Structure 1
Amino acid sequence: MTADVTFEAVKHSFGTFTALHRVDLTINAGEFIVLLGPSGCGKTTLLSILGGFLTPSEGRVLIGGRDMTRVAPKDRPTTTMFQDYALFPHMTLRDNVGFGLRMRGVGRRTRDAKAGEMLEMVGLADKAGRRPHELSGGQRQRVALARALAVSPEVLLLDEPLGALDLKLRRQMQEELKAIQRRVGTTFVHVTHDQEEAMAVADRIVVMNQGRIEHCGTPEEVYLRPATLFTANFMGEVNRIPVAAGGQTPLGPLPLPTGVLCLRPESVGLAGELPLGPARLEEASFFGAYLRCHFRPVAAPEMPLVAHLPQGHAPAPGAEVALFASNPVVLPAEAA
């Protein structure tokens, strides 16, 4: 089963501090949504309101069209998976996965069958009789996911579920998490501050800042066509070039509207649609798939530009070359 989610003008305050400012958001049934933003932006507060752990000061929360604003967590069609997997150390994996079913009065045979099905889905069926301390961190994460899905929630809430894993394992689990979500079709609402993780798993990313939604869109949209300067800066490294009236910039006149020209490092190179003028290469660092290059534009040496160039395509340090930009995005300066 799966359900859509609607936040209607949700506001929440902790004393005099307003954590959420009348947030409106619709999540489609079966969608993988990521709430992304820095610490204190309101993403965890929004997730807690969806799970019923907080009651909003104002507004409504609907799940599957039903008003759940003041419904207790245990009575909601949701399950939450936290960064701390909270597996019972004295129980087998089978019993851990079936625990939620046990609390709902499901008989041993039925819950063991369901637990076996869930462990099979996460690739741990052969370890059903083991205990959590016998597993790696990634395996414990899979068990926690299997337990959360065993009760067939309409919406699964994930609060920084991969934060405790190392980089290589986290990337592997991102792929597995996405594949499992596609298989079960449950609505996933995932909180993280990791931009790469958000882009790896999300159907849509909700970028939050100071209790408000800055941008909601696909990973491609929020990265390549950010709605605000905050989104552009938060979603990755960006070169920012001010554009005054008539297209005047520190690099010279460019055929652009007034605002701030935002260029990702991979959009700056030795060819492209928008000429940026001559620049001198200061240094280049090898990053495997690309060379990270620092350039000083001749017209504005006080405004360095970072470019990611393919291996073997970087000039020698000190060389002067013509730089170009692709996929230029100009955002209003007042959005800074």
Structure 2
Amino acid sequence: MTASVTVEGVNHWFGSYRALRDISLAIGAGEYVTLLGPSGCGKTTLLSVLGGFLMPDQGRVLIGSRDMSRVAPARRPTTTVFQDYALFPHMSLRDNVGFGLRMAGQGRRLRHARADEMLALVGLGAAASKRPHELSGGQRQRVALARALAVRPEVLLLDEPLGALDLKLRRSMQDELKAIQREVGTTFVHVTHDQEEAMAIADRIVVMNAGRIEDQGPPARIYRQPASLFAAGFMGEMNRIPAHETAGVVTCAFGAVPRPAPASGPLVLTLRPEAIRIGQASVDRLHIGPARVRDAAFFGTHVRAHLVPQAAPDMVLVAHLPPDHLPGPDDVLDLVAETGDLGLFAEP
């Protein structure tokens, strides 16, 4: 079973500090949504409101069509997986996974059957009799996930569940989480500050900043066409190029940009490192022009280079160049960028 989640005009204060500001959000049944943002942006507070651990000062939370705004966590059709897996060290994995069912009064035979089913789902069917201390960090994370799913929640809440894992294991678990979500069909709401993690697993990313939703949408759109300068910068490395508008034409150090200005006053062009290319000027390209290589390093899939353009010697651009050639310091490269890869925002 799965359910939609609707947040309507939620505000929350901690004393005089406003942690959530007019949050409205609709999550479809069976959707995998990530709440993404820096520390202190409100993402964990919002997850706590969804789980019932905090009651909003204003607004409503609906799960399905039911108003859950004042319903205690134990009475909500949600479960939460925390970064600290909180497994019982004296219990077997089977008993850990079946613990919620035991608290709900389910008999031993049925809860053990359900626990074994969930352990098999997360690839630990043969380890049901083991104790948590016998497992790796990734395996303990799977047990915590199995325990949360065993009670058949309509919505599963995940609070940075992969934060304690090393990079390689975290990436492996990202793939597993998405595969499990597709199999069970439960609505997942996942908090993270890791942009790559959010893009790897989410159907939709909700970017938060200072208690507000800055942007939301599919990962590719959020990355390539962010709705705000904050979202553009938070979603990955970004070159910022000062620009201005004169007589309806936007210009920067590299020439005119065929884009309407979003506002009067100072502007900023944004350009991802991978969007900078070595090539010839053309009508559909921004010609950055000759640029001196300050340094370059091989990263396997690309060469990461810092470049100083001749047209703007006080500027340093970061570019991800093809991996088949490592330029040397002081090499000069002729650079271009497709105009469709440029973002344009008002300077805050």
TM norm structure 1: 0.97
The code of the aligned residue for 1:256 comes to R
* Conserved 8 A contact 1:238-1:264: yes
1:45-84 CA distance string (max 9 Å, x none) = 1000000000000000000111000000000000001000
* Conserved 8 A contact 1:261-1:328: no
In structure 1, what is the equivalent of residue 290 of structure 2?
278
Secondary structure at the counterpart of residue 3 of structure 2: coil
- Structure 2: how far apart are the matches of 1:118 and 1:236? 36
2:273 maps to which of 265, 271, 281? 265
**Residues 75-114 of structure 1: matches in 2 within 5 Å?**
75-114=75-114
* Conserved 8 A contact 2:101-2:111: yes
In structure 2, what is the equivalent of residue 289 of structure 1?
301
The code of the aligned residue for 1:147 comes to R
Secondary structure at the counterpart of residue 257 of structure 1: coil
1:254 maps to which of 254, 257, 260? 257
* Conserved 8 A contact 1:160-1:191: yes
* Conserved 8 A contact 1:278-1:322: yes
Identity %: 67
Residue-pair matches, total: 335
Cα deviation, residue 330, structure 1:
2.7
Matched, 1:330 2:346: no
For the aligned residue pairs, the C-alpha RMSD in angstroms reads: 1.2
- Structure 1: how far apart are the matches of 2:250 and 2:68? 51
In structure 2, what is the equivalent of residue 319 of structure 1?
331
Matched, 1:27 2:35: no
* Conserved 8 A contact 2:269-2:345: no
The code of the aligned residue for 2:344 comes to L
In structure 1, what is the equivalent of residue 312 of structure 2?
300
Cα deviation, residue 288, structure 1:
1.1
Cα deviation, residue 322, structure 1:
1.5
1:76-100 CA distance string (max 9 Å, x none) = 0000010000000000000000000
- Structure 2: how far apart are the matches of 1:240 and 1:65? 44
1:220-276 CA distance string (max 9 Å, x none) = 011111110100110110011122112221223333333321110000011373222
**Residues 30-179 of structure 1: matches in 2 within 5 Å?**
30-179=30-179
Matched, 1:210 2:210: yes
* Conserved 8 A contact 2:255-2:286: no
* Conserved 8 A contact 2:250-2:257: yes
The code of the aligned residue for 1:123 comes to G
Displaced runs of 4 or more, over 6 A: none
Distance 1:276 1:255, change over 3 A: farther
- Structure 2: how far apart are the matches of 1:20 and 1:75? 24
Q: Tell me, which stretches of 5 or more residues in structure 1 are unaligned? A: none
1:9-39 CA distance string (max 9 Å, x none) = 0000011110011100000000000000001
Secondary structure at the counterpart of residue 123 of structure 1: coil
Q: Tell me, which stretches of 5 or more residues in structure 2 are unaligned? A: 262-266
**Residues 2-13 of structure 1: matches in 2 within 5 Å?**
2-13=2-13
* Conserved 8 A contact 1:278-1:297: yes
- Structure 1: how far apart are the matches of 2:344 and 2:36? 20
Secondary structure at the counterpart of residue 8 of structure 1: strand
The code of the aligned residue for 2:127 comes to K
TM norm structure 2: 0.94
* Conserved 8 A contact 2:298-2:326: no
* Conserved 8 A contact 2:255-2:287: no
